[in-house]
Amino acid sequence: MNNHFIHRSKILDLYSNSLKEISTHSLSEWLKGVTDNQFIVIERLFVVDAINYIKLDKYTDTFLGYNIKERWDLELIKSYI
């Protein structure tokens, strides 16, 4: 996973421009903006469910394509979450 550094002043701007709290949606949109759409916020359970689906249907689901599924290191992805 690539590492992306965000200047503290941008984080302070996010904090200063919010009223009482920051929603996950706002955080996601902000993160997409400051990283030029390179990073997004996704609910952890969604990622776990997607990984489990790929594991179960690795050889039967033609939608995902065999080549893509073989290149994914599912255990590495799990370690990130």
Q: For position 1, what pLDDT does the model report?
A: 65
Asked if 48 and 35 sit in the same domain, the reply is no
pTM of the model: 0.59
- Co-location of 1 and 37 in the same domain: yes
Look at residue 61 in the predicted model and tell me its pLDDT: 60
Mark whether 27 and 58 lie in a shared domain. Answer: no
pLDDT at 62: 66
**What is the residue range of 75's domain?**
44-80
User: Residue 58's pLDDT is what?
Assistant: 65
Query: Based on the domain organization, do 33 and 52 belong to the same domain?
Result: no
Regions in the chain scoring below 70 on pLDDT: 1, 58-71, 81
d(CA 69, CA 59): 9
Count of domains for the chain: 2
Q: Do residues 33 and 3 share a domain?
A: yes
